Structure 1
Protein backbone atom coordinates (compact mmCIF):
# COMPACT_ATOMS: atom_id res chain seq x y z
CA UNK A 1 0.00 0.00 0.00
CA UNK A 2 1.19 3.49 -0.86
CA UNK A 3 1.47 5.26 2.50
CA UNK A 4 0.68 8.56 0.80
CA UNK A 5 -2.83 7.35 -0.12
CA UNK A 6 -4.03 6.21 3.24
CA UNK A 7 -7.49 7.28 4.33
CA UNK A 8 -8.53 9.28 7.40
CA UNK A 9 -12.04 9.26 8.83
CA UNK A 10 -12.75 12.46 10.75
CA UNK A 11 -15.86 12.99 12.87
CA UNK A 12 -17.15 16.45 13.68
CA UNK A 13 -15.43 17.56 10.49
CA UNK A 14 -17.71 20.46 9.61
CA UNK A 15 -15.91 23.05 11.78
CA UNK A 16 -13.20 23.72 14.35
CA UNK A 17 -10.61 21.05 15.16
CA UNK A 18 -12.31 18.50 12.91
CA UNK A 19 -12.19 20.72 9.83
CA UNK A 20 -8.60 21.65 10.67
CA UNK A 21 -7.67 17.96 10.84
CA UNK A 22 -9.26 17.46 7.43
CA UNK A 23 -7.25 20.29 5.88
CA UNK A 24 -4.05 19.21 7.64
CA UNK A 25 -4.25 15.60 6.50
CA UNK A 26 -5.42 16.41 2.98
CA UNK A 27 -2.45 18.75 2.72
CA UNK A 28 -0.23 15.74 3.45
CA UNK A 29 -1.85 13.68 0.70
CA UNK A 30 -4.21 11.59 2.81
CA UNK A 31 -7.67 10.87 1.43
CA UNK A 32 -10.41 11.85 3.85
CA UNK A 33 -13.90 10.76 4.85
CA UNK A 34 -15.69 13.67 6.47
CA UNK A 35 -18.42 12.94 9.01
CA UNK A 36 -20.88 15.33 10.67
CA UNK A 37 -24.58 16.13 10.65
CA UNK A 38 -24.31 19.24 8.46
CA UNK A 39 -24.04 17.77 4.95
CA UNK A 40 -23.81 21.09 3.11
CA UNK A 41 -20.83 22.29 5.13
CA UNK A 42 -19.13 18.94 4.65
CA UNK A 43 -19.69 19.08 0.89
CA UNK A 44 -18.21 22.57 0.72
CA UNK A 45 -15.15 21.46 2.68
CA UNK A 46 -14.75 18.29 0.60
CA UNK A 47 -14.92 20.28 -2.64
CA UNK A 48 -12.24 22.69 -1.44
CA UNK A 49 -9.96 19.80 -0.39
CA UNK A 50 -10.32 18.08 -3.76
CA UNK A 51 -9.56 21.30 -5.61
CA UNK A 52 -6.69 22.45 -3.42
CA UNK A 53 -4.92 19.16 -2.70
CA UNK A 54 -6.13 16.69 -5.33
CA UNK A 55 -7.13 14.10 -2.73
CA UNK A 56 -10.24 11.99 -2.57
CA UNK A 57 -12.68 13.57 -0.12
CA UNK A 58 -15.98 11.87 0.62
CA UNK A 59 -18.87 12.99 2.82
CA UNK A 60 -20.99 10.93 5.20
CA UNK A 61 -23.79 12.88 6.87
CA UNK A 62 -24.55 10.99 10.07
CA UNK A 63 -25.64 11.61 13.63
CA UNK A 64 -23.30 9.98 16.13
CA UNK A 65 -25.66 10.76 18.98
CA UNK A 66 -27.84 7.87 17.75
CA UNK A 67 -26.95 4.20 18.28
CA UNK A 68 -27.01 3.40 14.55
CA UNK A 69 -24.43 6.07 13.68
CA UNK A 70 -21.04 4.29 14.03
CA UNK A 71 -21.94 1.12 12.10
CA UNK A 72 -23.60 3.19 9.37
CA UNK A 73 -20.47 5.29 8.92
CA UNK A 74 -18.04 2.37 8.72
CA UNK A 75 -20.33 0.46 6.37
CA UNK A 76 -20.60 3.47 4.06
CA UNK A 77 -16.82 3.94 4.04
CA UNK A 78 -16.48 0.29 3.01
CA UNK A 79 -19.02 0.82 0.20
CA UNK A 80 -16.91 3.74 -1.01
CA UNK A 81 -13.85 1.48 -1.09
CA UNK A 82 -12.04 3.54 1.54
CA UNK A 83 -10.57 1.36 4.31
CA UNK A 84 -9.89 3.47 7.38
CA UNK A 85 -6.22 3.81 8.29
CA UNK A 86 -6.63 6.91 10.46
CA UNK A 87 -9.50 7.66 12.82
CA UNK A 88 -9.98 11.12 14.31
CA UNK A 89 -12.70 10.88 16.97
CA UNK A 90 -13.44 14.57 17.27
CA UNK A 91 -17.24 15.00 17.39
CA UNK A 92 -18.44 16.31 20.72
CA UNK A 93 -20.50 18.72 22.75
CA UNK A 94 -21.20 19.60 26.36
CA UNK A 95 -24.48 20.09 28.12
CA UNK A 96 -25.12 23.68 29.19
CA UNK A 97 -27.62 22.68 31.89
CA UNK A 98 -27.13 20.73 35.09
CA UNK A 99 -27.59 16.97 35.07
CA UNK A 100 -30.69 16.81 37.25
CA UNK A 101 -32.67 19.26 35.11
CA UNK A 102 -31.51 18.01 31.72
CA UNK A 103 -34.04 15.74 29.97
CA UNK A 104 -32.78 12.17 29.86
CA UNK A 105 -32.89 11.97 26.07
CA UNK A 106 -30.33 14.78 25.90
CA UNK A 107 -28.12 13.11 28.53
CA UNK A 108 -28.32 9.83 26.63
CA UNK A 109 -27.42 11.56 23.36
CA UNK A 110 -24.39 13.18 25.00
CA UNK A 111 -23.17 9.82 26.30
CA UNK A 112 -23.84 8.14 22.96
CA UNK A 113 -21.94 10.81 21.04
CA UNK A 114 -18.92 11.16 23.29
CA UNK A 115 -18.56 7.75 24.95
CA UNK A 116 -20.33 4.94 23.10
CA UNK A 117 -19.80 6.17 19.53
CA UNK A 118 -16.14 6.98 20.17
CA UNK A 119 -15.61 3.51 21.59
CA UNK A 120 -17.62 1.72 18.89
CA UNK A 121 -15.97 3.51 15.98
CA UNK A 122 -12.59 2.64 17.42
CA UNK A 123 -13.63 -1.00 17.83
CA UNK A 124 -14.95 -1.16 14.26
CA UNK A 125 -11.81 0.15 12.54
CA UNK A 126 -9.21 -1.79 14.54
CA UNK A 127 -9.54 -5.12 12.66
CA UNK A 128 -8.68 -3.49 9.33
CA UNK A 129 -5.78 -1.58 10.85
CA UNK A 130 -4.46 -4.81 12.37
CA UNK A 131 -4.65 -6.59 9.05
CA UNK A 132 -2.64 -3.81 7.38
CA UNK A 133 -0.26 -3.56 10.35
CA UNK A 134 -0.66 0.22 10.47
CA UNK A 135 -3.14 2.59 12.06
CA UNK A 136 -3.40 5.93 13.81
CA UNK A 137 -6.23 6.87 16.18
CA UNK A 138 -6.63 10.30 17.75
CA UNK A 139 -9.35 10.60 20.36
CA UNK A 140 -10.28 14.13 21.39
CA UNK A 141 -10.13 14.32 25.15
CA UNK A 142 -9.61 17.65 26.88
CA UNK A 143 -7.63 19.50 29.50
CA UNK A 144 -10.88 19.07 31.43
CA UNK A 145 -9.97 15.38 31.85
CA UNK A 146 -7.41 16.37 34.50
CA UNK A 147 -9.35 19.35 35.83
CA UNK A 148 -11.77 19.56 38.77
CA UNK A 149 -15.27 18.46 37.69
CA UNK A 150 -17.89 21.09 36.93
CA UNK A 151 -21.01 21.09 39.06
CA UNK A 152 -23.76 19.05 37.45
CA UNK A 153 -21.80 18.42 34.24
CA UNK A 154 -20.66 15.09 32.77
CA UNK A 155 -18.03 16.63 30.50
CA UNK A 156 -14.98 16.14 32.74
CA UNK A 157 -15.95 12.55 33.48
CA UNK A 158 -16.52 11.79 29.81
CA UNK A 159 -13.19 13.28 28.79
CA UNK A 160 -11.44 11.39 31.60
CA UNK A 161 -12.88 8.19 30.14
CA UNK A 162 -11.55 9.09 26.68
CA UNK A 163 -8.12 9.84 28.14
CA UNK A 164 -7.90 6.56 30.05
CA UNK A 165 -9.42 4.47 27.25
CA UNK A 166 -6.94 5.84 24.73
CA UNK A 167 -3.96 4.97 26.89
CA UNK A 168 -5.26 1.46 27.53
CA UNK A 169 -5.81 0.83 23.83
CA UNK A 170 -2.43 2.23 22.92
CA UNK A 171 -0.81 -0.31 25.26
CA UNK A 172 -2.72 -3.13 23.57
CA UNK A 173 -2.41 -2.05 19.94
CA UNK A 174 1.15 -0.73 19.58
CA UNK A 175 2.53 -4.22 18.84
CA UNK A 176 0.08 -4.34 15.89
CA UNK A 177 1.45 -1.11 14.41
CA UNK A 178 -1.41 1.04 15.71
CA UNK A 179 -0.79 4.20 17.74
CA UNK A 180 -3.57 5.70 19.85
CA UNK A 181 -3.32 9.22 21.25
CA UNK A 182 -5.62 11.14 23.56
CA UNK A 183 -5.44 14.76 22.42
CA UNK A 184 -6.20 17.05 25.36
CA UNK A 185 -6.57 20.67 24.22
CA UNK A 186 -7.63 23.53 26.43
CA UNK A 187 -9.54 26.54 25.16
CA UNK A 188 -9.52 26.46 21.37
CA UNK A 189 -11.00 28.95 18.94
CA UNK A 190 -13.99 27.15 17.38
CA UNK A 191 -17.79 27.10 17.33
CA UNK A 192 -17.91 24.96 20.49
CA UNK A 193 -18.77 27.79 22.87
CA UNK A 194 -21.31 29.28 20.46
CA UNK A 195 -23.16 25.96 20.24
CA UNK A 196 -23.06 25.53 24.02
CA UNK A 197 -24.17 29.10 24.69
CA UNK A 198 -21.03 29.94 26.67
CA UNK A 199 -19.41 32.37 24.23
CA UNK A 200 -19.83 35.43 26.47
CA UNK A 201 -18.10 33.75 29.41
CA UNK A 202 -15.38 32.30 27.18
CA UNK A 203 -14.59 35.71 25.72
CA UNK A 204 -13.72 36.98 29.20
CA UNK A 205 -10.71 34.64 29.39
CA UNK A 206 -7.25 36.09 28.68
CA UNK A 207 -5.88 35.53 25.19
CA UNK A 208 -2.86 33.55 26.44
CA UNK A 209 -5.21 30.70 27.37
CA UNK A 210 -6.46 30.23 23.81
CA UNK A 211 -5.07 28.22 20.90
CA UNK A 212 -5.89 28.11 17.22
CA UNK A 213 -7.28 24.75 16.03
CA UNK A 214 -4.49 24.46 13.46
CA UNK A 215 -1.89 24.49 16.25
CA UNK A 216 -3.79 21.84 18.23
CA UNK A 217 -3.99 19.63 15.16
CA UNK A 218 -0.32 19.96 14.24
CA UNK A 219 0.83 19.03 17.72
CA UNK A 220 -1.71 16.21 18.03
CA UNK A 221 -0.72 14.66 14.71
CA UNK A 222 2.96 14.85 15.55
CA UNK A 223 2.20 13.08 18.84
CA UNK A 224 0.29 10.16 17.32
CA UNK A 225 2.92 9.68 14.64
CA UNK A 226 5.59 9.63 17.35
CA UNK A 227 3.62 7.08 19.36
CA UNK A 228 2.82 9.34 22.30
CA UNK A 229 -0.31 8.11 24.12
CA UNK A 230 -1.21 11.56 25.49
CA UNK A 231 -0.79 15.00 23.96
CA UNK A 232 -1.59 18.21 25.83
CA UNK A 233 -0.93 20.91 23.22
CA UNK A 234 0.41 24.32 24.08
CA UNK A 235 2.74 25.50 26.84
CA UNK A 236 0.04 27.00 29.04
CA UNK A 237 -2.03 23.82 28.87
CA UNK A 238 0.99 21.66 29.70
CA UNK A 239 1.72 23.77 32.78
CA UNK A 240 -1.94 23.67 33.83
CA UNK A 241 -2.13 19.88 33.43
CA UNK A 242 1.08 19.36 35.41
CA UNK A 243 -0.22 21.57 38.21
CA UNK A 244 -3.53 19.72 38.43
CA UNK A 245 -2.28 16.16 38.27
CA UNK A 246 0.12 14.98 41.00
CA UNK A 247 1.25 11.83 39.15
CA UNK A 248 2.54 12.68 35.65
CA UNK A 249 0.70 10.97 32.80
CA UNK A 250 3.84 9.22 31.57
CA UNK A 251 4.29 7.56 34.96
CA UNK A 252 0.60 6.58 35.07
CA UNK A 253 0.98 5.04 31.61
CA UNK A 254 4.09 3.13 32.69
CA UNK A 255 2.39 1.83 35.83
CA UNK A 256 -0.70 0.77 33.90
CA UNK A 257 1.34 -1.14 31.35
CA UNK A 258 3.66 -2.69 33.95
CA UNK A 259 0.88 -4.00 36.18
CA UNK A 260 -1.26 -5.32 33.34
CA UNK A 261 -3.46 -8.15 34.73
CA UNK A 262 -3.70 -9.81 31.31
CA UNK A 263 0.04 -10.42 30.95
Structure 2
Protein backbone atom coordinates (compact mmCIF):
# COMPACT_ATOMS: atom_id res chain seq x y z
CA UNK A 1 0.00 0.00 0.00
CA UNK A 2 1.46 3.36 -1.06
CA UNK A 3 2.26 5.63 1.91
CA UNK A 4 0.42 8.96 2.08
CA UNK A 5 3.75 10.76 1.69
CA UNK A 6 6.47 8.40 0.48
CA UNK A 7 10.04 9.18 1.47
CA UNK A 8 12.63 9.07 -1.31
CA UNK A 9 16.40 8.86 -0.88
CA UNK A 10 18.28 10.16 -3.92
CA UNK A 11 22.05 9.89 -4.26
CA UNK A 12 23.96 12.25 -6.53
CA UNK A 13 21.09 14.71 -6.16
CA UNK A 14 23.07 17.93 -6.60
CA UNK A 15 22.69 18.09 -10.40
CA UNK A 16 21.59 16.35 -13.57
CA UNK A 17 19.41 13.24 -13.38
CA UNK A 18 19.58 13.18 -9.57
CA UNK A 19 18.24 16.73 -9.24
CA UNK A 20 15.55 15.94 -11.82
CA UNK A 21 14.46 12.94 -9.76
CA UNK A 22 14.22 15.18 -6.69
CA UNK A 23 12.03 17.69 -8.52
CA UNK A 24 9.72 15.08 -10.04
CA UNK A 25 9.28 13.08 -6.85
CA UNK A 26 8.67 16.22 -4.79
CA UNK A 27 6.00 17.23 -7.30
CA UNK A 28 4.40 13.80 -6.76
CA UNK A 29 4.07 14.49 -3.03
CA UNK A 30 7.21 12.74 -1.77
CA UNK A 31 9.36 13.87 1.11
CA UNK A 32 13.04 13.60 0.30
CA UNK A 33 16.46 12.76 1.62
CA UNK A 34 19.05 14.10 -0.81
CA UNK A 35 22.74 13.38 -0.71
CA UNK A 36 25.86 14.26 -2.69
CA UNK A 37 29.23 15.84 -1.95
CA UNK A 38 28.26 19.45 -2.77
CA UNK A 39 26.42 20.71 0.29
CA UNK A 40 25.67 24.16 -1.11
CA UNK A 41 24.01 22.69 -4.21
CA UNK A 42 21.91 20.37 -2.04
CA UNK A 43 20.80 23.22 0.21
CA UNK A 44 19.77 25.30 -2.81
CA UNK A 45 17.75 22.39 -4.21
CA UNK A 46 16.13 21.73 -0.82
CA UNK A 47 15.02 25.36 -0.54
CA UNK A 48 13.63 25.32 -4.08
CA UNK A 49 11.58 22.16 -3.46
CA UNK A 50 10.33 23.25 -0.04
CA UNK A 51 9.03 26.50 -1.54
CA UNK A 52 7.56 24.92 -4.68
CA UNK A 53 5.94 21.83 -3.16
CA UNK A 54 5.88 22.28 0.63
CA UNK A 55 7.80 19.03 0.86
CA UNK A 56 10.16 18.09 3.68
CA UNK A 57 13.71 17.79 2.36
CA UNK A 58 16.49 16.40 4.56
CA UNK A 59 20.00 17.23 3.35
CA UNK A 60 22.64 14.67 4.32
CA UNK A 61 25.86 15.33 2.39
CA UNK A 62 28.33 12.47 2.06
CA UNK A 63 31.04 11.11 -0.20
CA UNK A 64 30.07 7.59 -1.26
CA UNK A 65 33.72 6.84 -2.04
CA UNK A 66 34.23 6.64 1.72
CA UNK A 67 33.80 2.97 2.76
CA UNK A 68 31.87 4.09 5.87
CA UNK A 69 29.58 6.51 4.01
CA UNK A 70 26.55 4.26 3.48
CA UNK A 71 26.47 3.03 7.07
CA UNK A 72 26.79 6.62 8.28
CA UNK A 73 24.03 7.82 5.96
CA UNK A 74 21.65 5.08 7.09
CA UNK A 75 22.49 5.77 10.75
CA UNK A 76 21.70 9.46 10.24
CA UNK A 77 18.31 8.53 8.77
CA UNK A 78 17.58 6.12 11.62
CA UNK A 79 18.33 8.85 14.16
CA UNK A 80 15.72 11.02 12.41
CA UNK A 81 13.21 8.13 12.20
CA UNK A 82 13.22 8.33 8.41
CA UNK A 83 11.97 5.20 6.64
CA UNK A 84 12.89 5.10 2.96
CA UNK A 85 10.19 4.02 0.49
CA UNK A 86 11.97 4.99 -2.74
CA UNK A 87 15.72 4.50 -3.24
CA UNK A 88 17.22 6.19 -6.29
CA UNK A 89 20.83 5.07 -6.73
CA UNK A 90 21.96 7.79 -9.10
CA UNK A 91 25.44 8.89 -7.96
CA UNK A 92 28.09 8.26 -10.57
CA UNK A 93 30.82 9.66 -12.78
CA UNK A 94 33.41 8.52 -15.30
CA UNK A 95 37.18 8.07 -15.12
CA UNK A 96 38.69 9.16 -18.46
CA UNK A 97 41.62 7.43 -20.09
CA UNK A 98 43.13 3.96 -20.27
CA UNK A 99 42.64 1.59 -17.35
CA UNK A 100 46.36 1.28 -16.53
CA UNK A 101 46.92 5.03 -16.83
CA UNK A 102 45.06 5.79 -13.60
CA UNK A 103 46.23 4.98 -10.07
CA UNK A 104 44.44 2.19 -8.23
CA UNK A 105 42.91 4.50 -5.57
CA UNK A 106 41.11 6.33 -8.42
CA UNK A 107 39.53 3.05 -9.55
CA UNK A 108 38.82 1.94 -5.98
CA UNK A 109 36.86 5.15 -5.30
CA UNK A 110 34.95 4.69 -8.54
CA UNK A 111 33.99 1.11 -7.70
CA UNK A 112 32.77 2.12 -4.24
CA UNK A 113 30.55 4.86 -5.69
CA UNK A 114 29.21 2.96 -8.71
CA UNK A 115 29.01 -0.60 -7.32
CA UNK A 116 29.46 -0.96 -3.58
CA UNK A 117 27.38 2.02 -2.42
CA UNK A 118 24.21 1.24 -4.42
CA UNK A 119 24.44 -2.42 -3.49
CA UNK A 120 24.90 -1.67 0.21
CA UNK A 121 22.10 0.90 0.24
CA UNK A 122 19.71 -1.64 -1.28
CA UNK A 123 20.83 -4.27 1.24
CA UNK A 124 20.29 -1.94 4.18
CA UNK A 125 16.97 -0.44 3.06
CA UNK A 126 15.29 -3.42 1.39
CA UNK A 127 14.26 -5.26 4.60
CA UNK A 128 12.18 -2.27 5.74
CA UNK A 129 10.49 -2.02 2.35
CA UNK A 130 9.63 -5.72 2.40
CA UNK A 131 8.31 -5.52 5.94
CA UNK A 132 6.05 -2.57 5.05
CA UNK A 133 4.94 -4.20 1.81
CA UNK A 134 5.93 -1.28 -0.40
CA UNK A 135 9.13 0.00 -1.99
CA UNK A 136 10.75 1.23 -5.18
CA UNK A 137 14.45 0.90 -6.08
CA UNK A 138 15.76 2.65 -9.18
CA UNK A 139 19.36 1.95 -10.12
CA UNK A 140 20.48 4.48 -12.70
CA UNK A 141 22.47 2.34 -15.11
CA UNK A 142 23.16 3.21 -18.75
CA UNK A 143 22.72 2.13 -22.34
CA UNK A 144 26.47 1.50 -22.05
CA UNK A 145 25.66 -1.55 -19.93
CA UNK A 146 23.86 -3.19 -22.87
CA UNK A 147 26.35 -2.64 -25.69
CA UNK A 148 30.01 -3.59 -26.30
CA UNK A 149 32.34 -1.42 -24.23
CA UNK A 150 34.68 0.90 -26.15
CA UNK A 151 38.17 1.84 -25.01
CA UNK A 152 38.44 4.50 -22.32
CA UNK A 153 36.36 4.97 -19.17
CA UNK A 154 37.13 1.27 -18.79
CA UNK A 155 35.06 0.48 -15.70
CA UNK A 156 32.01 2.57 -16.60
CA UNK A 157 30.14 0.18 -18.88
CA UNK A 158 31.11 -2.77 -16.69
CA UNK A 159 29.65 -1.10 -13.61
CA UNK A 160 26.42 -0.27 -15.45
CA UNK A 161 26.08 -3.86 -16.69
CA UNK A 162 26.33 -4.97 -13.07
CA UNK A 163 23.53 -2.59 -12.03
CA UNK A 164 21.30 -4.00 -14.78
CA UNK A 165 21.77 -7.62 -13.65
CA UNK A 166 21.49 -6.61 -9.98
CA UNK A 167 18.19 -4.86 -10.67
CA UNK A 168 16.79 -7.83 -12.55
CA UNK A 169 17.52 -10.15 -9.63
CA UNK A 170 16.08 -7.69 -7.10
CA UNK A 171 12.92 -7.36 -9.19
CA UNK A 172 12.39 -11.11 -9.29
CA UNK A 173 13.11 -11.58 -5.59
CA UNK A 174 10.88 -8.80 -4.29
CA UNK A 175 7.95 -8.10 -6.61
CA UNK A 176 5.65 -10.39 -4.63
CA UNK A 177 6.35 -8.23 -1.55
CA UNK A 178 5.25 -4.99 -3.20
CA UNK A 179 8.81 -3.88 -3.90
CA UNK A 180 9.71 -2.98 -7.49
CA UNK A 181 13.31 -2.69 -8.65
CA UNK A 182 14.32 -1.23 -11.99
CA UNK A 183 17.50 -0.40 -13.89
CA UNK A 184 17.06 2.88 -15.73
CA UNK A 185 19.39 2.88 -18.74
CA UNK A 186 19.63 6.30 -20.42
CA UNK A 187 21.90 7.06 -23.33
CA UNK A 188 23.36 10.52 -23.84
CA UNK A 189 21.64 12.90 -21.42
CA UNK A 190 22.08 16.66 -21.07
CA UNK A 191 23.84 17.15 -17.72
CA UNK A 192 27.19 18.14 -16.19
CA UNK A 193 28.52 14.59 -16.56
CA UNK A 194 30.61 15.30 -19.66
CA UNK A 195 31.90 18.59 -18.29
CA UNK A 196 33.24 16.76 -15.24
CA UNK A 197 34.93 14.09 -17.37
CA UNK A 198 36.38 16.66 -19.77
CA UNK A 199 34.66 15.23 -22.85
CA UNK A 200 32.21 18.08 -23.54
CA UNK A 201 33.94 19.15 -26.77
CA UNK A 202 33.62 15.65 -28.21
CA UNK A 203 30.04 15.24 -27.01
CA UNK A 204 28.93 18.47 -28.64
CA UNK A 205 29.78 16.97 -32.03
CA UNK A 206 27.10 14.28 -31.67
CA UNK A 207 23.77 14.90 -33.44
CA UNK A 208 20.91 16.32 -31.40
CA UNK A 209 18.67 13.27 -31.89
CA UNK A 210 21.09 11.24 -29.77
CA UNK A 211 20.30 13.30 -26.67
CA UNK A 212 17.52 13.29 -24.08
CA UNK A 213 16.85 15.78 -21.30
CA UNK A 214 17.17 14.68 -17.69
CA UNK A 215 13.48 15.49 -17.19
CA UNK A 216 12.41 13.08 -19.94
CA UNK A 217 14.69 10.34 -18.64
CA UNK A 218 13.30 10.71 -15.12
CA UNK A 219 9.64 10.83 -16.17
CA UNK A 220 10.04 7.62 -18.12
CA UNK A 221 12.09 6.00 -15.36
CA UNK A 222 9.44 6.68 -12.71
CA UNK A 223 6.73 5.29 -14.96
CA UNK A 224 8.84 2.19 -15.66
CA UNK A 225 9.45 1.29 -12.02
CA UNK A 226 5.78 1.84 -11.20
CA UNK A 227 4.85 -0.58 -14.00
CA UNK A 228 7.29 -3.11 -12.61
CA UNK A 229 9.76 -3.00 -15.52
CA UNK A 230 13.01 -4.55 -14.31
CA UNK A 231 15.00 -2.79 -17.06
CA UNK A 232 14.04 0.29 -19.04
CA UNK A 233 15.86 2.18 -21.81
CA UNK A 234 14.38 5.65 -22.44
CA UNK A 235 14.30 6.91 -26.01
CA UNK A 236 13.53 5.11 -29.28
CA UNK A 237 16.98 5.78 -30.70
CA UNK A 238 18.62 4.20 -27.64
CA UNK A 239 16.36 1.15 -27.81
CA UNK A 240 17.16 0.77 -31.51
CA UNK A 241 20.91 0.97 -30.83
CA UNK A 242 20.68 -1.71 -28.15
CA UNK A 243 18.66 -4.06 -30.36
CA UNK A 244 20.78 -3.51 -33.47
CA UNK A 245 24.06 -4.20 -31.68
CA UNK A 246 22.67 -7.30 -29.97
CA UNK A 247 21.63 -8.70 -33.35
CA UNK A 248 25.08 -8.19 -34.85
CA UNK A 249 27.83 -10.82 -34.60
CA UNK A 250 29.97 -10.04 -31.57
CA UNK A 251 33.09 -9.27 -33.61
CA UNK A 252 31.26 -6.78 -35.82
CA UNK A 253 29.52 -5.11 -32.87
CA UNK A 254 32.82 -4.70 -31.03
CA UNK A 255 34.50 -3.26 -34.13
CA UNK A 256 31.68 -0.76 -34.59
CA UNK A 257 31.82 0.16 -30.90
CA UNK A 258 35.59 0.71 -31.12
CA UNK A 259 35.20 3.05 -34.09
CA UNK A 260 32.32 5.04 -32.61
CA UNK A 261 33.87 5.18 -29.15
CA UNK A 262 36.66 7.46 -30.30
CA UNK A 263 34.01 10.10 -31.03
CA UNK A 264 33.00 10.50 -27.39
CA UNK A 265 35.51 8.72 -25.14
CA UNK A 266 38.95 9.82 -23.99
CA UNK A 267 41.08 6.77 -24.65
CA UNK A 268 44.49 8.29 -24.07
CA UNK A 269 46.73 7.95 -21.03
CA UNK A 270 46.32 10.47 -18.18
User: TM over 0.5: same fold?
Assistant: yes
Rounded Cα–Cα distance in structure 2 between residues aligned with 1:17 and 1:4 = 25
1:55-204 superposed matches below 5 A: 55-152=55-152, 153-204=154-205
Q: TM-score, normalised by structure 2?
A: 0.89
Rounded Cα–Cα distance in structure 1 between residues aligned with 2:151 and 2:109 = 19
Rounded Cα–Cα distance in structure 1 between residues aligned with 2:99 and 2:180 = 34
CA shift at 1:189, angstroms? 0.2
Q: Name the SS for the 1:118 alignment partner.
A: helix
1:187-208 deviation per Cα after TM superposition (whole angstroms, max 9, x unaligned):
0000000000110000000000
Q: Name the SS for the 1:4 alignment partner.
A: coil
Q: Name the SS for the 1:204 alignment partner.
A: coil
Rounded Cα–Cα distance in structure 1 between residues aligned with 2:37 and 2:174 = 30
Q: TM-score, normalised by structure 1?
A: 0.92
CA shift at 1:103, angstroms? 0.5
Q: Name the SS for the 1:61 alignment partner.
A: coil
Q: Unpaired segments of 5 or more residues in structure 1? A: 248-263
Please say if residues 36 and 63 of structure 2, whose CA atoms lie closer than 8 Å, have aligned partners that are also in contact.
yes
CA shift at 1:149, angstroms? 1.0
Rounded Cα–Cα distance in structure 1 between residues aligned with 2:80 and 2:243 = 44
1:237 aligns with 2:238: yes
The alignment of Structure 1 onto Structure 2 pairs a total of residues equal to: 247
Q: List structure 1 segments (4+ residues) > 3 angstroms apart after TM superposition.
A: none
CA shift at 1:146, angstroms? 1.1
Q: CA RMSD in A?
A: 1.2
Q: Name the SS for the 1:215 alignment partner.
A: helix
Rounded Cα–Cα distance in structure 1 between residues aligned with 2:194 and 2:185 = 17
